[in-house]
A and B are shown apart, each in its own frame.
Chain A
Amino acid sequence: GEDVEQSLFLSVREGDSSVINCTYTDSSSTYLYWYKQEPGAGLQLLTYIFSNMDMKQDQRLTVLLNKKDKHLSLRIADTQTGDSAIYFCAETAYNNNDMRFGAGTRLTVKP
Chain B
Amino acid sequence: EAGVAQSPRYKIIEKRQSVAFWCNPISGHATLYWYQQILGQGPKLLIQFQNNGVVDDSQLPKDRFSAERLKGVDSTLKIQPAKLEDSAVYLCASSPSGLAGENTGELFFGEGSRLTVL
**Quick one: which of B42, B101, B105, B109 contacts A42, CB cutoff 8 A?**
B109
Task: Give, as a whole number of angstroms, the nearest-CB distance from A63 to chain B.
Answer: 13
Cα-based distance from A48 to B104 in the complex (angstroms): 8
B-facing residues in A1-48 (Cβ within 8 Å): 4, 8, 30-31, 33, 35, 40-45, 48
Residues of chain A within 8 A of B56, CB atoms compared: 97-98
**Quick one: which of B44, B99, B106, B111 contacts A40, CB cutoff 8 A?**
B111
Return the CB mask of A69-111 against B: 1 if under 8 Å, else 0.
0000000000000000000101011111111111110000000
Nearest A residue to B109 by beta-carbon distance? Answer: A42
The answer to whether A103 and B40 touch across the interface, beta carbons within 8 angstroms, is yes
The answer to whether B111 and A41 touch across the interface, beta carbons within 8 angstroms, is yes
The answer to whether residues A97 and B110 also contact, given A4-B42, A103-B41 and a CB cut-off of 8 A, is: no
The answer to whether A43 and B105 touch across the interface, beta carbons within 8 angstroms, is no
Q: Which residues of B contact A (CB under 8 A)?
A: 4, 40-45, 48, 55-56, 91, 93, 99-102, 104-112
